[in-house]
Amino acid sequence: MKINLKDIINIVPIIKGSALNGAISEEALKGGCPPTMQNNRNMGQELLLESLTLHEQIYGILHRKVARVYSSLA
């Protein structure tokens, strides 16, 4: 069976953009700050690192939200 030009109705491009809302990464960031302030640094750092990984995957390394997470880790 051959595909004919008449068989194609429409072509839709798939574009990756940064308009996504990283709700899970934001929750991990918010959850990581209080334990760090309350002397539970291991759990806080783990949540902040998880948030950093999620932010980098969603927004890319050169996004301002990723920079904010790096600032929180510092």
Residue 10: count of CB within 10 angstroms of its CB: 4
**Is 70 exceeded by the pLDDT of residue 61?**
yes
Please tell me the predicted confidence (pLDDT) of residue 73.
80
In the predicted structure, residue 20 carries a pLDDT above the cut 60: no
This prediction has a pTM of: 0.61
Domain ranges of the chain: 21-73
The Cα 46–Cα 42 span in angstroms is 6
